[in-house]
Structures are given as structure tokens and as C-alpha cells.
Homo-oligomer: A and B are copies of this chain.
Amino acid sequence: MIIVMEQNATKEQMDRVTKYIKDHGMKSYVHKGDLLNVIAVIGNEININPENIAALDGVNTVKKIQEPYKLVSRITHPEDTVITFPNGVKIGGDEKPVLMVGPCSVEKDYEGLIKVARAAKEMGCPFLRGGAFKPRTSPYDFQGLEEKGLQYLAQAREETGLLVVTEVMDTMDISLLCKYADVLQVGARNMQNFKLLKALGRINKPVMIKRGPAATIKEFLLAAEYVVSNGNPNVILCERGVKSFDSQFSRNVLDIAAVPIIRKVSHLPIIVDPSHGTGKRYLIEPMGKAALIAGAHGLMFEVHHDPDNAMCDGAQSLNIEQFKQVTRVFNKLIGRIDYDNKNNKNNKKND
């Protein structure tokens, strides 16, 4: 931690700061500059609140050096986290990227859902996604089928063997969802619902956290830290676009750079959702390819058997025909990436 003092800070103010640091078990070094004085603090920053130091008289600014996340950081855990599902599917590290597809929300028509699930299986996608509980900005929009939707998802899994990803909106629904789902998803607007994150730290199913619409990468990683620090190491991160000053052509700005950045600073798997990230069907293919080639561990996107009559997000869903066409492109690219990864590894071994 670095403390910059006000230019006119008195010796008493300076002493007060160094005493405060000492009282909290850390060491301080004072540097007198031409214009400003600086105090460097050495020790475990996680135990001290920078805001309290900032509140001391004579302090101009406090800059933290250590990141506040620990368990999700590569510094303390250099090896990639690879999550292995009971049926052998893996996500993370150098594993082949995976596709998660399905409708935004599960609807009354089971036949529609199973059509999508069968197409997903045919194309080699290991995950079926679909919302039973739907967070909607307006109270007048469709809120989801709830438990009925979960039953449909489980039935589709029964038939196809796909793994089920579905959203949890409230701590009270966690045990119900654990009965039906293989991955519990935290929606973007709930990314900082800390009670929910803590509770998800106590289950033994993987959790997928979507990045909040205005969450920094640090806040995103701290949301994961809530889950991991409460006992559940199996967290998947999902970039889905951030808000910007321009939403005319794309609902959000899909932050593709978050993929290589997160792979550098964290060991957790990171996937990308080009459907929510753009809100436009025609952008799923180019942005999905961009995410994969930048290193994403997977893609999640929306497929509906009849997008024109979808209860939600029709404009950003592919129909089954389009899905197959786009997935052929993705699968080809995934094949190349996998081939290159393996070749690179062999080359490294031979070095």
C-alpha cells in the first residue's frame, strides 16, 4: 500500500499515519519527495482497510498494490482450474472449448426445447442452457416457468445426455436448482448479490458467474472470490458485454480482451456469450469466432426452435437451421485451435 500525503501535511499527521500502520501489524517507510511525501506500507494488505487510512487527516490518496482477490488469482494458484463433469466433459485450461446452447427461457412447449437439445447433441455441444427463473427488467415481461421449466430441462437431459445450465436468482431456490441442474448460473444483474454468492460457495455443483453490465474485471474476480472463499472451487466466468455510451448497433460492448486478461490473472475458466453481448443474431458468428481465437474456454449462445415467437430475446437467438450452420463454423475453428494447442505443447516438450 502506498500513501501519498497532502503537500502541507504536518509531522503530527505523518506520525499518526505511521502509528496507525504499526498498530495494524505492518511496516511503513517514509519517503520525502520534492513536492509530496509518500509512505510505503509493507505487509498483508488484505487485513487493512485503505478507506480508513484515506480518512486520516493529511492523507491525499491511498493506492493499494496487492489485489484484494487471492484464491482466484494466479499468484496464489498458478495452475489452471479444469472442471470435470461426471460424464467426462471438461472445461478450462487447455481443454477443447465447449459450446452451451439453448433458449433464453424454457417455455410451455416441451417439444420446442427437445428439438433444440437434439440439434445440440447432433452438433456435439455438451451443454443445454435455458432459464426457468428469468430476471426481466420490466415486471410485465415473462418471468419464467419456474419448477416446471426445471423439469423440462431435466427431461431433455434424460433423453440427450446433455449437461444442464440454468440460472439461480435467489438463495431460497438453490436447493431446488441443485436437484435439476449441472451448472448454476448467476445472472449479470445478480453478480454482486453477495448473499447468493456466499450460499453458492457452500454447494458442490459448478457455478457460472456472468459479468455484471458495469462490473470491472476486479469486481468480476471478487464475485468469484466470494464463491471460492466459501468453499466451492468450481467457478466458470462468463463475459457477456458491458454497458457503454453506444447501444445503437449492439446492446453492449462485448469485451473480448477480458478473455486473455482473465486467463493471465486468474486460473478459472472464462467463456463468452455473444448473444447477450451483442443482442443481434448476425453478430453471434463473428463475435463467437473472435472469442474462441482469443482463448475463450467456451461459448454460450441462444438457440430457439421458433425465434419469432420466443418469450424472450428472440432477436438474438438463432433458429435450428442457423444454429447448425454457425456451429459447423465454430467446430471447425475449435478443431484448429485444439490442433494448434497440442502442436505447441509437443514443440515445447521437444525444446
Interface residues of chain A, those whose CB is within 8 Å of chain B, are 2, 4, 7, 20, 29, 31-36, 38, 40, 42-44, 46, 49, 51-52, 54-56, 63, 65-66, 68-70, 75, 133, 135-141, 143, 169-172, 189-190, 192-196, 198, 212-214, 216-219, 222, 225-226, 229-230, 242-250, 253-257, 259-261, 264-265, 277-278, 281-283, 286-287, 289-291, 293-295, 307-317, 333, 336
Residue of B nearest to A32 (CB): B42
State whether A249 and B222 are in contact (beta carbons under 8 Å apart), knowing that A29-B40, A194-B136 are contacts in the complex: no
State whether A35 and B190 are in contact (beta carbons under 8 Å apart), knowing that A254-B257, A261-B249 are contacts in the complex: no
What are 7 A-B pairs with beta-carbon distances under 8 A?
A: A36-B65, A54-B315, A217-B246, A242-B245, A250-B261, A260-B283, A293-B293
CA of A287 to CA of B291, assembled, Å: 9
Residues in chain B near residue A75, CB distance under 8 A: 7, 35
CA of A49 to CA of B253, assembled, Å: 23
B248 touches A253 (CB 8 A): no
Residues in chain B near residue A260, CB distance under 8 A: 282-283, 286-287
A49 touches B141 (CB 8 A): yes
A137 touches B55 (CB 8 A): no
Residues in chain B near residue A316, CB distance under 8 A: 51
Residue of B nearest to A261 (CB): B249
Residues in chain B near residue A230, CB distance under 8 A: 139
A222 touches B139 (CB 8 A): yes
Residues in chain B near residue A169, CB distance under 8 A: 193-195
Tell which of A56, A136, A286 has the most Cβ of chain B within 10 Å.
A286
Residues in chain B near residue A29, CB distance under 8 A: 29, 31, 40
B256 touches A287 (CB 8 A): yes
B44 touches A312 (CB 8 A): no
A287 touches B278 (CB 8 A): no
A310 touches B52 (CB 8 A): yes
CA of A250 to CA of B250, assembled, Å: 21
> What is the distance, in angstroms, from A172's C-beta to the closest C-beta of chain B?
6
Tell which of A51, A190, A242, A283 has the most Cβ of chain B within 10 Å.
A51
CA of A236 to CA of B75, assembled, Å: 42
Q: A171-B171, A190-B193, A218-B246 are in contact. List 10 more A-B contacts (CB 8 A).
A: A29-B31, A33-B42, A51-B310, A55-B317, A139-B226, A170-B196, A190-B192, A242-B246, A260-B283, A290-B291
B242 touches A253 (CB 8 A): yes
> What is the distance, in angstroms, from A83's C-beta to the closest C-beta of chain B?
21
Residue of B nearest to A311 (CB): B49
Residues in chain B near residue A4, CB distance under 8 A: 65
> What is the distance, in angstroms, from A336's C-beta to the closest C-beta of chain B?
8
Residues in chain B near residue A286, CB distance under 8 A: 257, 259-260, 293-295
Residues in chain B near residue A311, CB distance under 8 A: 49
Residues in chain B near residue A248, CB distance under 8 A: 216-218
A315 touches B55 (CB 8 A): yes
Residues in chain B near residue A214, CB distance under 8 A: 212-214, 243, 245
State whether A290 and B171 are in contact (beta carbons under 8 Å apart), knowing that A46-B140, A249-B265, A264-B282 are contacts in the complex: no
Residues in chain B near residue A317, CB distance under 8 A: 55
A253 touches B245 (CB 8 A): no
Residues in chain B near residue A247, CB distance under 8 A: 245
